[in-house]
Amino acid sequence: MNTRSPRIARLLRATATTALAIAACNALAQGGGGASSFPARQIRIVLPFAAGGSTDVIARTVGQKLAENTGQSVVIDNRPGAAGAIATEHVAKAASDGYTILMATTSTHAVLPVLNPKLPYDSIRDFTPVGLVARAPNILIASPKLAANNVRELIAQAKAAPGQLVFASSGTGTITHLIGEAFKSAAGVQAIHAPYKTGVQAVPDIVSGQVSYLFDSIVWSLPQIRAGKLKGLAITSAKRSPLAPELPTVAESGLPGFEGVTWFGLVVPAATPKDIVARLSSELNKVLRSPDMQDKLSAQGAEAAPGTPEEFAQLIRDDTARWGRVIRDAGVKLE
């Protein structure tokens, strides 16, 4: 038999209602109110590489626009080291609340996991993709001392002197190295790999002729080409770049289907709620579809790439398999 008086029952109901209201307010204050209240505080985008590089520039450009659109500050947190593994592991172990995001790249999510199976993170299992941000092609640049003036002539020269041409990269296992290995395989040529810390550091040796060619960033390569210091032979994207429409693609220069681009995209810890991932994806696509943002990314040699989390997830899987084959076929190992 219920012996509570109506007055006591009303007091109990009022107390319960107040407790629920306080809990809801606390959740909102902590950013835990779901997508309807997200974001409720500062967002942090963690970068696997140092300030000043293309990953940094693209992240800051996109982060600024995200901050404007959401009304919350977006902080860029550079955590370089271990070829990107330090930052990537940090985000994998961060709170799954949407406030800690990683700017993933081809290196962190498609190359490094194959090169180093002992990584402290799993690029598929430990992350949920938010969306692709941008793609950036590389240019095949050659020494002015080299007789070849296009891709076909380069292949012919390499075949005439097997193992005598030298190609540079920004380091063993980097995407510029793997594109070089993919080129050797597709063209059926032999060439010696010379790793540098950055592509820029290889320029004096390319100019002097000690290095024959290099695949590297369109951003710093174009000024060198237009100044007459280096030859621009082709671009590695599927289509010609509006930044250098005079340059043919490698694919149209005798190697059909050849493509080698670097991509940048946002991922969050695996357990991040689906509604928050969807909100982040929506906000990211708004930014990337802005003509102003597309112009800014284009100026950096990158192409805005709005899309869905599912499309980005498929790209990660496809590129992991693709570059994995290149790594295994070429016998690439971390130094």
Is pLDDT of 14 > 80? no
Residues 154-166 have a mean pLDDT of: 96
Cα 126 from Cα 23, distance rounded (Å):
30
Q: Which helix (H) or strand (E) holds 64?
A: helix 54-70
Per-residue pLDDT, averaged over 230-243, amounts to 93
**In the chain, what percentage of residues exceed pLDDT 70?**
89
Question: In this structure, is residue 246 part of a structural domain?
Answer: yes
Residue 144 shares a structural domain with residue 120: no
Would you place residue 170 in the very low, low, confident or very high pLDDT band (cuts 50, 70, 90)?
A: confident
Question: What is the average pLDDT value for the chain, to the nearest integer?
Answer: 89
First to last CA, the chain: 78
Residue 136, SS3 per DSSP: strand
Whether 194 shows a pLDDT value over 90: the answer reads: yes
Helix (H) or strand (E) holding 168: strand 166-169
Say what the pTM is: 0.80
pLDDT (0 to 100) of residue 78: 95
295 Cβ neighbours under 8 A, 6+ residues apart: none
Residues 218 and 269 in one domain: no
pLDDT, residue 21, reads 44
80-91: pLDDT as tens digits? 988 899 999 999
* Domain around 216: 137-253
Residue 109 belongs to a domain: yes
Last residue of a domain, one of 198, 233, 253: 253
Residue of 158, 141, 145 lying closest to 215 (CA atoms) = 141
Total domain count, the chain:
2
Asked whether 146 and 231 are in contact (CB, 8 A), the reply is: yes
Rounded Cα–Cα distance for residues 334 and 210 (Å): 24
Lowest mean pLDDT among 23-37, 165-179, 186-200, 212-226: 23-37
Kindly state whether residue 258 falls inside one of the protein's structural domains. no
Cα–Cα distance between 55 and 127 in angstroms, integer?
A: 19
Residues 224, 145: one domain? Answer: yes
